[in-house]
């Protein structure tokens, strides 16, 4: 089907999907996060948390990556893709509210 064809095309470009559990209240995996082979060799997924949200039918995805070389400079920056017409950063921040301390990295106590 279409999903298998899409995933095969991503694999052909050396991209691996990290999300395997449902991220939508309907039980589907709608939110996709891919990493390239280079990133996969340099980083290890330390934790993946999928949390339902009360104000949307999508879940919040939190990924923590570990690296064996913490001082390594990235060869290329991460690329984020989302149609601009679907983005409303101010509304998203307002709906999200204040970032819980448990999700904040690099806080003053570290």
| Residues comprising the chain, all counted | 110
Domain-wise residue ranges, the chain = 2-100
Q: What Å distances lie between residue 25 and 13, 36, 92, CA to CA?
A: 30, 28, 19
Report whether 16 contacts 35 (CB < 8 A): yes
First to last CA, the chain: 48
Would you state the pLDDT for residue 76? 60
Query: Could you list the pLDDT tens digit for every one of the 110 residues in the chain?
Result: 888 888 888 888 888 888 888 888 888 877 788 888 777 777 788 888 888 888 888 888 888 888 766 565 556 666 666 555 556 667 666 766 666 666 555 544 44
| Sign of the Cα pseudo-torsion (11, 14, 15, 20, in order) | positive
Name every residue whose Cβ is closer than 8 Å to that of residue 65 and which is 6 or more positions away in sequence.
43, 44, 45, 46
What pLDDT score was predicted for residue 110? 43
Would the pTM count as exceeding 0.75?
A: no
């Amino acid at each position: 089907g279409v999903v298998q064809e899409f995933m095969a095309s991503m694999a052909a470009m050396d991209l691996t999907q990290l999300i395997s559990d449902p991220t939508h209240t309907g039980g589907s995996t709608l939110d996709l996060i891919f990493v390239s082979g280079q990133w996969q060799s340099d980083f290890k997924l330390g934790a993946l948390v999928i949390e339902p949200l009360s104000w949307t039918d999508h879940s919040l995805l939190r990924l923590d990556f570990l690296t064996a070389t913490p001082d390594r400079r990235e060869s290329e920056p991460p690329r984020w893709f989302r149609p601009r017409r679907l983005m409303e950063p101010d509304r998203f921040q307002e709906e999200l509210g204040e970032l819980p301390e448990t999700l904040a990295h690099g806080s003053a106590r570290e």
